[in-house]
Amino acid sequence: MPVQVTIETASKAEAQLIAEGLPMRAEARVWRGFGVIRVGTKSNQETNALIDAVARGFHEHSLKWARVRYGDEERVFKSNGKSVR
């Protein structure tokens, strides 16, 4: 079942970092000051792989927050304010 997925971040630069790590071609844009990526997935498995890629990018780049909206659900990734280096 196809699903529209929207990924939001604090800025276009952060969205671009996430987009580079996704398993499909995606373009970061700006909407209301936030970074946004919109992609479609064809299955639950593809949606889960996309969420996993966002989680990896979020942690790898130490972003403050990212949100993934898909179907009627969403996943929110937030940092606790502590930097691990």
What is the structure's pLDDT at 82? 60
pTM of the full structure: 0.88
pLDDT digits (tens, 9 = 90+) for 40-72: 999 999 999 999 999 999 999 999 999 999 999
User: What topology is assigned to 3-77 in CATH?
Assistant: Alpha-Beta Plaits (3.30.70)
What are the C-alpha distances in Å from 44 to residues 5, 56, 61? 11, 18, 26
What is the structure's pLDDT at 51? 96
Average pLDDT for 17-43: 95
